Structure 1
Amino acid sequence: MPSWDSYKTEARARGALALELYVAHSVPAGDPAAVKAALPDHLAYQARLEAEGKLALAGPLSDETGTQMEGMGMIVYRAESLEAARALAEADPMHRAGARSFTLRRWLINEGSLTLSVGLSGKTVALS
């Protein structure tokens, strides 16, 4: 099995994007009231990271059936390293308070597409 860095180098050589991001899978760690109490600070923290260009995407995940919310979430960070991403995740008020715990992984984005639509007169933005 190749090392992470050699795989990333090979992906770039093939012409893949090889954009490295960091994904935190965040889960409730106990009392639901602790999650609710930390939510305002968590959302403010995420808004700050987004403004700083350090938060790519974040939001809740459904259960495996796609019909229920189980409190799991995914946060995708832009960072210089796994250690820097870990520091961002650890500083999240949800994680710092112990309301949620997380696992963190590197994510190498090679393929895919996004569509951005900006309506100037209607001042609308849509991402799909």
Structure 2
Amino acid sequence: MVAWSDYKAEAKARGALALELYVAHSTPAKAPEDVKAALPDHLAYQAQLEQAGQLALAGPMSDETGAHMQGVGLIIYRAPSLEAAQALAEADPMHKCGARSFTLRRWMINEGSLHLSVGLSTKAVNLS
């Protein structure tokens, strides 16, 4: 098994991006009505983190078939350490009240691309 810091150094030496983010896999821990009751505060918290630059991406996920929503969410944090990301996840009102639980992992982004199109006159933004 390779230590995370060694793996990251090796990736950078290969020319990979080695951008470290933190991924929370959030699952319902209480009844759907408890999750729904915590949703407004959760969304406000997510917006606050987004404005602070600490939230990269977040949203619900489907079941394995892709046909149904099952209440699972994925939250990707920008943080200086795993401990800092843990604190962000624990402070989420959804997790704080116990309506949802989460697992947190480091994620090293090495490859891929994002495409951003900004229409200056139309003020349209497209991310793909």
Note whether the superposition's TM-score is higher than 0.5.
yes
Partner residue in 2 for 1:89: 89
Whole-angstrom distance in 2 between the partners of 1:107 and 1:59: 17
The alpha-carbon deviation at position 30 of structure 1 amounts to 1.5
TM-score with structure 1 setting the length:
0.99
1:59 aligned onto 2:59: yes
Runs of 4+ aligned residues of structure 1 deviating over 4 Å after TM superposition are: none
- Indicate the SS of the match to 1:27: strand
Equivalences for 1:1-128 in 2 at 5 Å? Answer: 1-128=1-128
- Indicate the SS of the match to 2:102: strand
The alpha-carbon deviation at position 123 of structure 1 amounts to 1.1
- Indicate the SS of the match to 2:46: helix
Whole-angstrom distance in 2 between the partners of 1:32 and 1:102: 16
The letter for the 1-side match of 2:81 is S
Q: Give the aligned CA root-mean-square deviation in angstroms.
A: 0.5
Whole-angstrom distance in 2 between the partners of 1:121 and 1:35: 41
Q: What percentage of aligned pairs have identical amino acids?
A: 76
Residues 37-89 of structure 1 show CA distances to partners (whole Å, capped at 9, x for unaligned) of 11000000000000000000000011111111000000000001000000000
- Indicate the SS of the match to 1:11: helix
- Indicate the SS of the match to 2:9: helix
- Indicate the SS of the match to 1:79: coil
The alpha-carbon deviation at position 31 of structure 1 amounts to 1.0
The alpha-carbon deviation at position 10 of structure 1 amounts to 0.0
Stretches of structure 1 that go unaligned for 5 or more consecutive residues are none
Whole-angstrom distance in 2 between the partners of 1:10 and 1:27: 33
